[in-house]
Amino acid sequence: MPASPKVTAVDPLPSAEAKWIEFQKISWTDQTGKPRIWESASRKTRGASGVDAVAISTVIRHPSRPPSTIIILQFRPPVDAICVEFPAGLVDAKETPADASLRELHEETGYKGKLSYISPTIVSDPGMSTANMQLATVEVNLKEGDTEPEQALDDGEFIERVVVPLEELYERLEKYSEEGKRVDARLWHWAAGLHFAKTML
Amino acid sequence: MPASPKVTAVDPLPSAEAKWIEFQKISWTDQTGKPRIWESASRKTRGASGVDAVAISTVIRHPSRPPSTIIILQFRPPVDAICVEFPAGLVDAKETPADASLRELHEETGYKGKLSYISPTIVSDPGMSTANMQLATVEVNLKEGDTEPEQALDDGEFIERVVVPLEELYERLEKYSEEGKRVDARLWHWAAGLHFAKTML
């Protein structure tokens, strides 16, 4: 029975000790020609693709169930909470973002699907970091009687997957949030766009 | 005539020099009880609300035009590109996120509206930073003949606003991306959710 993960200490991290991220002092000239400085954080793991990470919006179709997507729940130390996210992960050094999408979806959820679309490179928090990503759409077509596949997690990875009918996604995220879980902003925006189309247009 | 902003140098930033962001070394215990370390970046500007930033999804309704939203274009040094985003900004020290949403929308776009909804606190990139935000929905109801309002930008702020019919938003973001602009992941996800509702359900 796994214990609850928890943060035990938060200390300042000197730049020289950081292994996964780095700070950058960016010198730039603005629209008036004035020299300025911007501070930014950056991942050290970006590989040949030039893209840090992928996330996967999955559509599961089944003969007798409503169209669904898969979200994952995992503890995220930076925000000291269980986070609710699309399946996602870093792109390996020599991997393409498309391959990373299918690999991560399989590892984190057990599902194998067909990549139907991958977004251009988009930026995760461009006022603060260089982090970028691509959003994939993967279609999974199930037959009657197909059983739920096994996840393929690494040792030490604890990720819960949840299949959610698309019609219920937004309300489900609201509920997780009320329970104290933290919804990833990108997943929230996707669900909010879907909800907006149903309720505001 | 403003010049093109540009990055002139990127240097390592020692933690002790950083004014706006900081690095954290997070000690945590995982689900097996094993002690682990996570590296994270954090904004130093978070105020009493506990929320770093807000973004605003606006709905402009007009008697004879299709329902539209407002997006903004601005140069972002961390990604050395013009970024396409929802209007957004940091929450001031003693401000509520709801007040910040109406203030930022007015400053960046000139529009004043009615806040119809604000999301729970959501996390921008929880594998890498503590950054969090709330997403507001603001409704702007225009009458026939209303003219486009003036932006209320600070000196040195260069922000272009674009009113886009919601029906065209996704294609517009694809086009900006093809032109070399960088779309913010959260705006992209919102538009992708809206597009998904129209095309995949």
Q: Is B6 on the interface with A (CB under 8 A)?
A: yes
Q: How far apart are the first and last CA of chain A?
A: 46
Q: Taking a contact as any Cβ pair under 8 Å apart, which residues of chain B between 7 and 66 contact chain A?
A: 7-15, 17-36, 38-43, 53, 57, 59
Residues of A in contact with B120 (CB under 8 A): 174, 177-178, 183
A201 has pLDDT over 80: no
Q: Is A40 within 8 Å of A127 (Cβ atoms)?
A: no
The helix or strand, by DSSP H or E, that contains position A135, with its residue range, turns out to be: strand A132-141
Residue pointed to by tokens 């393409």? A96
Residues 6+ apart with CB under 8 A from A70: A58, A60, A86, A87, A105, A109, A111, A161, A162, A163, A164
Residues of A in contact with B35 (CB under 8 A): 8
Best residue in A1, A4, A13 to probe B by mutation, most B CBs within 10 Å? A13
What's the CA gap between A129 and B195, in Å, rounded?
A: 27
Residue spans of the domains in chain B: they are 46-199
The mean pLDDT value for A22-42 works out to 96
**Smallest CA–CA separation between A130 and chain B, in Å?**
5
Residue-wise pLDDT for B130-146, tens only, equals 999 999 999 999 999 99
What's the CA gap between A146 and A142, in Å, rounded?
A: 6
Q: Strands (DSSP E) along chain B, which ranges?
A: 6-12, 21-29, 35-43, 53-62, 65-76, 81-85, 88-90, 114-118, 122-123, 132-141, 160-165, 182-183
What's the CA gap between A143 and B110, in Å, rounded?
A: 53
Please name the member of A7, A23, A190 whose beta carbon is closest to the beta carbon of B15.
Answer: A23
Contact B7 A26 (CB under 8 A): yes
Contact B28 A6 (CB under 8 A): yes
The radius of gyration of chain B from alpha carbons, rounded to an integer in Å, stands at 19
Nearest to B164 by CA among B67, B56, B63, B87: B67
A1 pLDDT band, cuts 50/70/90, is low
Q: Is B70 within 8 Å of B161 (Cβ atoms)?
A: yes
Please name the member of A27, A53, A190 whose beta carbon is closest to the beta carbon of B193.
Answer: A190
Best residue in A188, A195, A198 to probe B by mutation, most B CBs within 10 Å? A188
Residue-wise pLDDT for A96-149, tens only, equals 999 999 999 999 999 999 999 999 999 999 999 999 999 999 999 999 999 999
Q: Is A21 within 8 Å of B128 (Cβ atoms)?
A: yes
Q: Taking a contact as any Cβ pair under 8 Å apart, which residues of chain A between 90 and 129 contact chain B?
A: 119-129
Contact A25 B33 (CB under 8 A): no
Task: Give pLDDT, residue A154.
Answer: 86
Residue of chain A whose Cα is closest to the Cα of B3: A31
Residue-wise pLDDT for A187-198, tens only, equals 999 999 999 999
Q: Is A85 on the interface with B (CB under 8 A)?
A: yes
**For the stretch A54-90, what's the b/e string if a residue is b when 16 or more beta carbons lie within 10 angstroms of its beta carbon?**
bbbbbbbeeeeeeebbbbbebbbbbbbbbbbbbbbbb
The mean pLDDT value for B3-20 works out to 93
Residues of A in contact with B124 (CB under 8 A): 124-125, 128, 185
CATH number corresponding to B46-199 = 3.90.79.10
**How many beta-carbon pairs below 8 A join chains A and B?**
312
Residues 6+ apart with CB under 8 A from B77: A26, A28, A36, A38, A40, B5, B7
B154 has pLDDT over 90: no
The mean pLDDT value for B99-114 works out to 97
What's the CA gap between A36 and A26, in Å, rounded?
A: 8
* DSSP SS3 for B78: helix
Q: Is A135 within 8 Å of A57 (Cβ atoms)?
A: yes
Please provide the average confidence, as pLDDT, over all residues in chain B.
Answer: 96
Pick the CATH number of A45-143+154-199 from 3.40.50.20, 1.10.10.2840, 3.90.1150.10, 3.90.79.10: 3.90.79.10
Q: Looking at the predicted complex, does its ipTM rise above 0.95?
A: yes
